[in-house]
Every structure is written in structure tokens, then in C-alpha cells.
Structure 1
Amino acid sequence: MTLDVPRIQTQVAELLLEYGIPSAAIGVLHDGKVVEFAVGVKDVETGEAATIDTVYQCGSMTKTWTALAFMQLVDEGRVDLDEPVRTYLPGFRVGDLEASAMVTPRHLLYHTSGIEEAYGDPGEDDDVYERMVANIADAPQVSPLGHTHGYSAALGYAILARILEVIDGKRWDDIMRDRLFDPMGLTSTGSWREQVDGTRAATGHLIRSLDEGPIVTPVDYLQRAFGPGGNITSTIREVLAMAYVLLNEGTAPNGQRIVSAESIREMMRSRVPVPDRYMFGPQWALGLIVCDWHGETVYATDGSTIGQNARLRILPDSNTAIAMLTNGGPQERFYRKVFNEILVDLGTVTIPDLPIPNPTLHLDLSRYEGVYERPGARFEVSADSGTLRLTLVLDPMQAEFLQKPDRINYELLPVSQTHFLMPPADPLEDTQTVAIYDFTDGAARYLHTNCRVHPRSG
């Protein structure tokens, strides 16, 4: 592996300061060999250095782990991805009759169930996923079943976890240990905050301004409801062990078979389109994002908690995986700069730039104007002097903590009839992409950004 680690470490240290991120642990798996290093501090208040053994929160990267465990049930013939959830959870019900009867595990893995995250407060006890399933009996549809991709932060994978619990007869946390962590020989990966060695854990940080610098997050862990979709913690080497399984037809670095080669192929090849195709990738597979890097297919799994961030990119054509865990961010520019430095050294394909706006497009702006919202997220799209503008409405408490106004205005620059660039309104922000689409009724029905879908409400 021709990787100039000292040079990259120096560049990462400079970028950490530039973006206000306290530390990063970075690992590269290439042709079966691992290079790993860490830069920065675990906690800005203690100044303790991060190491390759520091444990970070992986956020929604957890979903890939849960998908792997679920595919073991498929291998065993105990579940079918296309059978209704009711086959395994007979009392399963949501507000929509069709979704209640027809939603399948594949829908949940794809994020196409359309079910709103209306699971209430299921608590922190061992029955949390059973309670979540019970609590959604009247949950409405954000969109019709299978109609569009719309990311489910917690609920979709909690339902998958409940199927695992019913079939295995044990709680999800124990299933992950017994099915994945122990067989893979992972000693630093856990599914619940109580399993984390506090002396090795990174502290999450937020940044409100570069002058103030990173501050310790006020929310040091996600609720247990996010477990199957967001609560795994790990080290950089053990994240790469999961990548190894995906690159090596289901076999772990220690030689143990975790899932079948056919299940790995199914995870990668079974896909649905993503409306906002530019920020992460044009398709979503089973627990993985599918990216197109200059014609090469790359698989991604990312995650964020409130103050920590995880990135993993898998390049099968180059037999390569790159992972990064940070206790700050996320910052898209930071990730792109670090990964591209590594990719250039390896002589592989690099991350493509975002598209360029097309000023020649003529849009009927009235078709896009309106309010698009879900609980906790509201976007107002309006036309002003021939330009589309988006107003993000923040929760007042969130705005006060972040020292931001509760209404933030952005310009939308058209890339196509349905896709837009959204330049940042603050130096700490990245350029985002937005899809406004589905003109079945004349006006757009949905706004999709950061993988989330928001239906028109007005």
C-alpha cells in the first residue's frame, strides 16, 4: 500500500483546526492490509489524545451492521425479504391498511416504507423495540408504500430488530453480540452506551463558530430507540472489519463466515433510486448507499450522532475501503479532502464534485413553491425575482443553542428540472443538494434533502 501516512496526518491535523473538529481516526483497507492512524484529541476539555483504540459513536452506520444480522436470517431460511412484516410480527399495524398488510423487510432496508417516525417515547428498557412497534399502530404515511425513498432514522431498522428479537428469542443487543461481534472477534464494538469503556470513549463536540471553537455536546448519546439504526460504537479497525466482510463475500478477517456470498451480492445489487442523487449517491441498496464515482460503483455507509460522525466508503473494483470516525462535524468538505488525498495516493478513483448549476434552465417556479414538512422539519420554498429560495425553519430551542436565527434563507440553483444546489448561508455549512419532484398533480409533491423526504403540506 503506497500511502504517505506522515503527509496525510499532517494535512488532517491542519484540516481539523480549519473545521473545528477535535479528532479523527482514519483507516484504510487495501488488498487485505490495514493502515490506521488517529489525529487530535478525544475531548477538548481534557486534551487527551485520540488513538486508533479510541471508541467513537458510529451513528447510522449501525444500519449496515443490523442489515448484516438480518441477512443471516435470510441465509438460514427463517425470513424472506419480500414476505410481509406481518408474517413475523402478526400484530403489526400502522395507520394505512395497505402498508400494514404489505410492507416487507426489503421496504424497511431500502427506506421506502413511507411510515412516519411516530413511535412516541418507547423508553430505555429492554422492550424498547417491542414498544416502538406497538406505538406505531396509528402512524400515518409520509408517502405511499414503495413510492419514494425517504430515510427512516430509527423506526425502519427498529422493526427489523424486533423481527430479529422474535425469531432469536433474545434482545437486539445480545443478537448483535452473538451473531456479529463475537464471531468476528470484535472486542471494542458495542450496541449500547453501557457497553462502552469510558476511558476509551471519544466525547462528541459541536461547533457554533470558529472563534468559539468546538464545545462538548449537550447530548452525549442517542436514545435507545435509535439502537438498531444508530447506536453502535466502535474503533477504526473494527469498522474496517465490517468493510472486510462486505469486500470478501461475507467472510471476516479472522476467517469466520458471517453471511453467505449470495447475501452480500443481494445487499449490493438490490436497489431503489434516491431522489436527491448528488449528495450521497443515486441509489440505495440493502443497508448501503450506492455511489457513482466517475463510472465506478462505490458503496457507502455513514452516520452521525449529536457531536460524532462516521464515514465508510467501499470500492470493490479496487479491493479498498476507507473509514473515518470523528468527534465533531460532519463536514462534507473535510471528508472529501481527506478521502481524496488517500484515494490519489492509492491510485484509485476519487470523489466526484457536485454538479454545476445550469443557468439556461427555464422553470415554472410556481410548481415548486410551497411548504414541505414533517414533525421537526419544515422547508418553505418561494420565488423571489425569478429565483427560488428555501427557508429552513429551526426549532426555537435548537436555534438558540446553535446561536442561529430560527429561519435561515437559502438560494436554490437549478441543476435540472428536479435538482438544485443550495449554497451555504454560513461559513460552517457545506453546499447541499435538494430534489423537489413528483409533479403528478401539477405542483411538486415532495422535497428530498439529506436523504430525508418531506411531503408538501401547503
Structure 2
Amino acid sequence: MTALNSLRDRIAGILDAQSPATGVAGAVIGVAVGGDQFSLAHGCANLNTGQEFLTDTGWLLGSVTKVLTATVLLRLVDAGAVDLDAPARRYLPEFTLAEADAADAITVRMLVNHTNGIDADDLMPASVRGRDATRSYISQLADFGCVFEPGAGVHYSNPGFVLAARIIERCTGLPYERAIQAELFDLCGMTDATAVQTQAFLRPTAIGAFATDEPGKLRATTLFSLPESAGGAGATPIVTVGDMIAFGRTHLAGGLAPDGRRVLSEQLVAEMQAKGVDLGLPQTPPMGLGWWLAPIAGTTAAWHGGGSPGGTSSFCIVPEHNAVVVSFVSGPNTLLNDTLHTTVIEHLTGRQATPPFTPASASADPEMAGEYAAFHRSVRTSCHDGELIVRTTTPPYTADEDLDRILAAYGSPSSSTDTYTAVAPGLFLPKGVGSRHTTGFYGRTSLLADLPAAPGRPRGLHTGLRFIPRVG
């Protein structure tokens, strides 16, 4: 532990500087390097009750769950029950899309590397709970298409991981929350982890927080979690830092749990961490299976982030340094996660994290002006004095009135207008945001790229790990 004392002190100083005025109600971090580890917590876990945030407080994992879902799916590959390169419909014949050929073309691998292109990112059915929740989500996909031909690009995919969760349910005969418990939590020694939301009543569990109109004040979320139907994509699992350190160590050990049990084959652990898809965009790291493989401070971190109502989590392993880092922040200061993670990684490598792009003189191409659209968002762009003006709206979703309510409670704005400044040809940052902002995991996703058309993919915008095709 002595080797980590100076790092622990630095992290403690960062946390001590946080408050509602910095957008943080509470936060927690866990760090493991080799056999040593520490965890630190700060602030309030629940603004409604005043509950203190402790290192064993649980919190909603959000989309970091996608790495866990991918791990469980690959256990089925290990067992010979699933073929990664088989069509997903082999295991889910009920899976259809508005474009029948697209559903036929989507493989199991495409579900967990964000290349399936399914245009249903914000879909969150809430009417069905329990054993049939995942199935209810998939039944609604019949009304949706794709933003590009399957395999022709990268588009962040909640539906891909819900489909993966349904394959897990089919192959194990268990609902997702029981399957992940038996096939992962119990095996990895994740003793406090659960995908059953009501378990939050039985243990200290954090909730999210949002900004208010009053400077320096935050309010508690009114929505604990997203619907159960999206459990496999990250809606329901609750963990502690100890759980995630155990999971991270399992991956660092080539699939062996801390107690020596085999969770996943060494070959598939390596395949999860191997670069499979790379758009060459600085804001969209290469993709393995479940992991985003982000170059940072002279090394590569296998990473995933996650959002819950009013909270964000960040999780990475750094194989070169045998390290695990996990954090959760309650409040709108998502970038505190980046500060915590880059501080650890810079300590490990002895190098400073730098922006993932080389700045160059550029301005917005007037041909970028136009209409772009994907599910539940409409984007109109215009160019002015070399800058890009991006107006985004989310029209009411009449097919499911719950969706608008859920997204509003989640904190998604119904409309926004942002000005972007070119930082390199075809690459933009929100005006006033410096390049240093992009050195961490979350910060780099704020970059926006103008993607030209390619085989199977129209011209479009790429930002926040998502592709928005040009229309009209």
C-alpha cells in the first residue's frame, strides 16, 4: 500500500475540494494496482436523507453494465452455446426491425461492439416489469430501422445490449437479473452487486443529483433508475467499488476470479480487449467487445462510462500496469470522473494525458449546413463566421408517452443550441471549451466530427459516441 500512499493523498485532495458548488453532491473512487488497493468517498449519497457517502455505499452502475453483459454473453460463447459471428436471429427469431434485411444481417458480435446501427438509442419501454421486461423492449424494435447498414459504422447501442441480455435469458432460462447474479456476480466475488432494484432498500445506496436555478445548490433526482427493460444495457445493476475492483481484477487475471475460479477463458478475455473496430476518430476510441480501448497518458485503458438519473460512473482497467479504477459521481460534474481517472493513470505511467487530436487551423465547411436526424432527435446545423451552430430538438414520442417523462426526469433537455469551433479539419469542440477538456474519457466524447459518406453509411455527424445521419 505504501506505493499508493502519495496517489491516495492526491485523490483525497481532489475529493476534498468538491461540493454542490462544483456540481458534486457525493462521489466515490476505488483504485487497485497489483495486490494493493484503496477507496475513498466524499459528500452526501442521498440529498433527501442526508446519508453520508461511504466507500461501501452502493450506486447505479449505468452503462458500465455493458462490459458485464458482454462478459456473461461470452461465457455462453465459451460454453459453445453461442457463436459470436452467427446472426442474432439464430437465438432470437422474434427479433425484427422495420428493415427486415438489416435484422438478418446483425450478428451477435455486432450487438456488443456498437456496430449494429439500430436506430433506437433512447428507447426505454417502462410498461412491463419483471421477467418479461427485456422481451417487451425487443418487441418494440420492429418499428425501428438503422442509421447505417449493420457493420458499416459505430453508433452507441443500448438496444444491442438489450438483445444480448435476451440471448443470455434464452440460453440460461433465467431472467437477466438472476442470470447476471449466477453467471458473474457470484463467480467474481461481487458480493454486494445486484440487478434487482428493490435491493436498494436493504443497503445504503446512493441516488443522483441535478443542478438547480440557485447557484451552489443541487436537488435530488426524482427518478431512481431507468426502466427494467434496459437492464442489460445498464438500467438496473447496483454495485460498490469493491464489486468493480473484483470484476476488474478478473479481467486483468485473464478470466480468473480473485478466488481462482475460472469465469472466462483467457482467449475471450484477450478478444474483449483486442481492437476490433476503429473509426479513426479521436472522440470515439477503438472498440473491442464491450470495452472502449482509449489511448491515454502513454498507455491503453479498457474503459466504459455509465449514466444514471443524476449520476455518472467511470470504470477502466489498465492492463499494462495491472490496475483497476472505478468512480461514481452524484451530481452534474461528470468530468470529475475524468479528473480522478487521469490522475491515477498519469501516476502509473509518469506521463501527462494529452488531447487525442493534433490541433490545426480549420473552419466549418458550409456544406455541413443541413438536417440530420436519428431516433428521438432532430438536428439542424448552420455555419456562421467559420463556426458550426447545432440546434437539437427531441420531438414528443407519441408511441409511448412514458419515454418523454423518463428522459425529462433523466435530465435530457427537450432542445438545445450549441456553437462549435473547428479544432482541426472536420473536427469541432463546443465554443469556449479548451482542448485540455478532451484528455480524459468523457471529455473527448464532446468532440463532434463531420463524417463523409462511406459504403453502407450516409454522411453524418459523430459525437457522444453516436452517429446522426444527414437527411433530405
Q: Normalized against structure 1, the TM-score is what?
A: 0.89
Counterpart of 1:206 in structure 2 is 210
Cα distance 1:114–1:235, how it changes in 2: closer, same or farther (>3 A)? same
Distance in structure 2 (CA, Å) of the matches to 1:40 and 1:3 = 21
Letter of the aligned partner of 2:31 in structure 1?
Answer: V
Q: CA deviation at 1:90?
A: 2.6
Counterpart of 2:451 in structure 1 is 437
Cα distance 1:193–1:297, how it changes in 2: closer, same or farther (>3 A)? same
Q: State how 1:99-248 maps to structure 2 within 5 Å.
A: 99-117=102-120, 123-153=128-158, 155-209=159-213, 211-230=215-234, 231-248=236-253
Q: Answer whether contact 2:32 2:245 (CA < 8 A) is retained.
A: yes
**Does 2:98 correspond to 1:95?**
yes
Distance in structure 2 (CA, Å) of the matches to 1:345 and 1:28 = 12
Distance in structure 2 (CA, Å) of the matches to 1:300 and 1:98 = 32
Structure 2 residue runs without a partner (length 5+): 397-403
Distance in structure 2 (CA, Å) of the matches to 1:89 and 1:188 = 31
- Cα RMSD after superposing both structures: 2.9
Return 115-124 or 201-210, whichever deviates more. Answer: 115-124
Q: Please, which of 15, 25, 31 is the counterpart of residue 22 of structure 1?
A: 25
Return 115-124 or 170-179, whichever deviates more. Answer: 115-124
Q: Answer whether contact 2:338 2:443 (CA < 8 A) is retained.
A: no
Q: Please, which of 23, 35, 38 is the counterpart of residue 41 of structure 2?
A: 38
Distance in structure 1 (CA, Å) of the matches to 2:242 and 2:224 = 23
Over residues 225-259 of structure 1, what are the superposed CA-to-partner deviations in whole Å (9 max), with x where a residue is unaligned? 22001121100111111111111100111222110
Cα distance 1:72–1:229, how it changes in 2: closer, same or farther (>3 A)? same
Structure 1 residue runs without a partner (length 5+): none
Q: CA deviation at 1:207?
A: 1.4
Q: Answer whether contact 1:23 1:41 (CA < 8 A) is retained.
A: yes
Counterpart of 2:420 in structure 1 is 412
Q: Answer whether contact 1:82 1:106 (CA < 8 A) is retained.
A: yes
Residue 98 of structure 1 aligns to a residue in which SS? helix
Letter of the aligned partner of 2:449 in structure 1?
Answer: A
Q: Answer whether contact 2:292 2:303 (CA < 8 A) is retained.
A: yes
Residue 447 of structure 2 aligns to a residue in which SS? strand
Letter of the aligned partner of 2:269 in structure 1?
Answer: I
Distance in structure 1 (CA, Å) of the matches to 2:85 and 2:413 = 45
Distance in structure 1 (CA, Å) of the matches to 2:309 and 2:319 = 31
Q: Answer whether contact 1:220 1:306 (CA < 8 A) is retained.
A: yes
Distance in structure 2 (CA, Å) of the matches to 1:6 and 1:210 = 32
Q: Answer whether contact 2:368 2:450 (CA < 8 A) is retained.
A: yes
Cα distance 1:245–1:210, how it changes in 2: closer, same or farther (>3 A)? farther
Q: Answer whether contact 2:55 2:241 (CA < 8 A) is retained.
A: yes
Cα distance 1:440–1:86, how it changes in 2: closer, same or farther (>3 A)? closer
Distance in structure 1 (CA, Å) of the matches to 2:174 and 2:10 = 47
Q: Percent identity?
A: 25
Residue 127 of structure 1 aligns to a residue in which SS? helix
Cα distance 1:161–1:330, how it changes in 2: closer, same or farther (>3 A)? farther
Letter of the aligned partner of 1:189 in structure 2?
Answer: A
Q: State how 1:291-306 maps to structure 2 within 5 Å.
A: 291-306=294-309
Cα distance 1:298–1:210, how it changes in 2: closer, same or farther (>3 A)? farther
Q: CA deviation at 1:120?
A: 5.2
**Does 2:267 correspond to 1:259?**
no
Counterpart of 2:429 in structure 1 is 421
Segments of 4+ in structure 1 off by > 6 A?
395-405, 428-431
Counterpart of 2:400 in structure 1 is none
Q: CA deviation at 1:151?
A: 0.5
Letter of the aligned partner of 1:370 in structure 2?
Answer: G
Q: CA deviation at 1:8?
A: 2.5
Q: CA deviation at 1:394?
A: 5.5
Distance in structure 2 (CA, Å) of the matches to 1:148 and 1:54 = 38
Distance in structure 2 (CA, Å) of the matches to 1:49 and 1:381 = 45
Over residues 353-394 of structure 1, what are the superposed CA-to-partner deviations in whole Å (9 max), with x where a residue is unaligned? 3546422x366x232111222233232210113332222336
Counterpart of 1:372 in structure 2 is 372
Q: CA deviation at 1:405?
A: 8.8
Distance in structure 2 (CA, Å) of the matches to 1:380 and 1:120 = 27
Letter of the aligned partner of 2:186 in structure 1?
Answer: D
Q: Answer whether contact 1:3 1:346 (CA < 8 A) is retained.
A: no
Cα distance 1:403–1:217, how it changes in 2: closer, same or farther (>3 A)? closer
Return 12-21 or 298-307, whichever deviates more. Answer: 12-21
Q: Answer whether contact 1:284 1:290 (CA < 8 A) is retained.
A: yes
Q: CA deviation at 1:100?
A: 2.0
Letter of the aligned partner of 2:370 in structure 1?
Answer: G
Counterpart of 2:460 in structure 1 is 446
Cα distance 1:418–1:192, how it changes in 2: closer, same or farther (>3 A)? farther
Q: State the number of aligned residues.
A: 449
**Does 2:313 correspond to 1:310?**
yes
Return 185-194 or 399-408, whichever deviates more. Answer: 399-408
Counterpart of 1:72 in structure 2 is 75
Q: Answer whether contact 1:372 1:454 (CA < 8 A) is retained.
A: yes
Cα distance 1:112–1:100, how it changes in 2: closer, same or farther (>3 A)? same
Cα distance 1:131–1:394, how it changes in 2: closer, same or farther (>3 A)? closer
